[in-house]
Amino acid sequence: MKKIAENIVDIAEKIETTEENLVIHTNPSQIKEVAKLLVMQRARFVHLTAIDFITQRNQIELNYFFSLIDDKMNVILKTSLDSSEPSIASISEIIPAVIWAERECNDLFGIKFEGHPDPRRLVLPDNWPQGIHPLRKDFSYNTKPPESKQPQPLKKPQEGKTVIPIGPFYPSLEEPAYFRLIVDGEEIVDFDYRGFYVHRGIEKLAESALNYQQIPFLAERICGICGFVHSCAYCQAVEKAANIEIPLRAKFIRSMFLELERLHSHLLWVGLAAHIVGFDTLFMQSWRIREPVMYICEIITGNRKTYGINIVGGVTIDVQPEHLKDIEKVISDIEREVRELREIILDDEVIQLRFKNVGILNNDEAKKYCVCGPVARASGINIDMRVNFPYAAYPMLNFRVPLNRAGDVWARTLVRLEEILISISILRQIIENIPEGQTSVKVSKIEPWKEAISYIEAPRGQLFHYVMTGPDGRPYRWSVRAPSYQNYQILSVMLKGASIADAPLIIGSIDPCFSCTERYEVFDLKKHSVKVYTAEELKNV
Domain spanning 2-149: CATH superfamily? NADH:ubiquinone oxidoreductase Nqo5 subunit (3.30.460.80)
Output DSSP code: residue 133: -
Q: Is 226 known to sit in a ligand binding site?
A: yes
Q: Which helix (H) or strand (E) holds 419?
A: helix 409-433
Cα four-point dihedral sign 405, 409, 414, 419? positive
Q: Alpha helix (H) ranges present in 434-489?
A: 483-487
Report the DSSP pairing between strands 112-114 and 162-166.
Answer: unpaired
Q: Which of 44, 46, 43 is nearest to 456 (CA)?
A: 46
Q: Is 401 known to sit in a ligand binding site?
A: no
Q: Where are the beta strands (DSSP E) in 405-499?
A: 451-458, 461-469, 475-481
Q: Report, in this order, helix, strand and coil percent for the chain, each rounded to 5.
A: 40, 20, 40
Between the alpha carbon of residue 167 and those of residues 178, 180, 193, 237, 539, the distances in Å are 5, 9, 10, 36, 18
Q: Is 516 known to sit in a ligand binding site?
A: yes
How many Å apart are CA 389 and CA 374, to the nearest integer?
Answer: 17
Q: Is 513 known to sit in a ligand binding site?
A: yes
CB 192 within 8 A of CB 205: no
How many Å apart are CA 371 and CA 140, to the nearest integer?
Answer: 34
Q: Which residues neighbour 307 within 8 Å (Cβ) at sequence distance 6 or greater?
A: 220, 227, 228, 257, 297, 301
End-to-end CA distance of the chain: 60
Q: Which residues neighbour 222 within 8 Å (Cβ) at sequence distance 6 or greater?
A: 202, 230, 480, 482
pLDDT in tens, the chain (541 residues): 667 767 777 788 888 988 889 999 999 999 999 999 999 989 999 999 999 999 999 999 999 999 999 889 999 999 999 999 999 999 999 999 999 999 999 999 999 999 999 999 888 888 899 999 999 999 998 988 998 887 777 777 777 788 888 776 665 555 666 788 899 999 999 988 877 766 778 999 999 999 999 999 999 988 888 899 999 999 999 999 999 999 999 999 999 999 999 999 999 999 999 999 999 999 999 999 999 999 999 999 999 989 999 999 999 999 999 999 999 999 999 999 999 999 999 999 999 999 999 999 999 999 999 999 999 999 999 999 999 999 999 999 999 999 999 999 999 999 999 999 999 999 999 999 999 999 999 998 999 999 999 999 999 999 999 999 999 899 999 999 999 999 999 998 999 999 999 998 999 999 987 533 333 333 343 454 444 445 454 444 4
Q: Which helix (H) or strand (E) holds 363?
A: helix 363-368
β-partners of residue 48 are 64
The predicted structure's pLDDT at residue 2:
67
Radius of gyration of the chain from its Cα atoms, rounded to whole angstroms:
23
Q: Is 123 known to sit in a ligand binding site?
A: no
Q: Please classify residue 343 by burial: count the beta carbons closer than 10 Å to its beta carbon, then call 0-12 exposed, 13-18 middle and 19+ buried.
A: exposed
Report the DSSP pairing between strands 21-25 and 14-17.
Answer: antiparallel
The predicted structure's pLDDT at residue 153:
73
Q: In what order do the strands lie in the sheet with 461-469?
A: 451-458, 461-469, 475-481
How many Å apart are CA 33 and CA 46, to the nearest integer?
Answer: 18
Q: Which of 176, 179, 175 is nearest to 164 (CA)?
A: 179
ω into residue 448 within 30 of 0, thus cis? no
How many Å apart are CA 253 and CA 267, to the nearest integer?
Answer: 21
- DSSP-derived secondary structure for 230-245: HHHHHHHHHHHHTTPP
Domain spanning 244-441: CATH superfamily? Cytochrome-c3 Hydrogenase, chain B (1.10.645.10)
The predicted structure's pLDDT at residue 258:
98
How many Å apart are CA 515 and CA 412, to the nearest integer?
Answer: 23
CB 235 within 8 A of CB 312: yes
How many Å apart are CA 33 and CA 11, to the nearest integer?
Answer: 8
Residue 146 backbone dihedrals phi, psi, to 5 degrees:
-65, 145
Residue 214 backbone dihedrals phi, psi, to 5 degrees:
-90, -30
Report the DSSP pairing between strands 21-25 and 73-82.
Answer: parallel
Q: Is 232 known to sit in a ligand binding site?
A: no
For the chain, what are the domain ranges? Answer: 2-149, 244-441
Amino acid at 463: L
Q: Which of 391, 413, 389 is nearest to 402 (CA)?
A: 413
Report the DSSP pairing between strands 475-481 and 461-469.
Answer: antiparallel
The predicted structure's pLDDT at residue 20:
86
The predicted structure's pLDDT at residue 519:
33
The predicted structure's pLDDT at residue 157:
79
